[in-house]
Structure 1
């Protein structure tokens, strides 16, 4: 079962990717590239070890993206983030609030064995 926080994160990522794809002049990728990237982000959110208590991805101690995809998402977020305030102000404010949340403790089953 997916909670409202994960749903909102998926919507925010979807909007950021769409904005980047639409407006960024250097976004000349293969057809379907951004749809695949969005599907990848959704899948990673579905499998987040923190679930509804997840911190903002940039603060997360568990980097669940492949390095190349992580760098691409950082580039998209860096470009789209400031522009989101004008196009999706509620999502932006909620994301900024989430960004200030404390990072929860890693669930027991994901902690390294001693």
Structure 2
């Protein structure tokens, strides 16, 4: 995969994770103002985005959940899984194009590795 498409994939994954965390924060922490995240969710977003930005397997993998390298600390992994479970399906209502793109990638991965 050429470098430009890997970077595009990395940016798309960052946007998706940010939006799912934003949905979770909006649903659980009502002190948000505008697009700001609460401190707890901002910390998780910063952590997740740093992991995505430094991912050595971005060209090969589809999602962190199917990656053989688990680079999240155990507590952060539990937090992001909770956030993903809450926000993942809600993406269909708030960001349908992102959600469909994610579903298509997931379908392709499962078909290939299935």
Q: Give TM-score, length-normalised by structure 1.
A: 0.77
Check whether the contact 1:20–1:79 (CA below 8 A) recurs between aligned residues: yes
Q: Which ranges in structure 1 are unaligned for 5 or more consecutive residues?
A: 104-114
Count of paired positions: 101
Superposition pairs for residues 10-49 of structure 1, below 5 Å? 10-24=14-28, 31-49=38-56
Q: Pairwise mapping of residues 22-101 of structure 1 onto structure 2 (< 5 A)?
A: 22-24=26-28, 31-101=38-108
Structure 1 runs of 4+ with >3 Å offset:
100-103
CA shift, 1:92, in A, is 0.6
Kept in 2: contact 1:14–1:38 (CA 8 A) = yes
Q: In structure 2, the residue corresponding to 1:40 is in which secondary structure?
A: helix
Q: Which one has more relative contact order, counting CA pairs under 8 Å at least 6 apart?
A: 1
Q: What is the root-mean-square deviation of aligned Cα atoms in Å?
A: 2.4
Shift of 1:5: 0.7
Offset of residue 101 of structure 1: 4.2
**CA offset at residue 96 of structure 1?**
1.4
Partner of 1:109: none
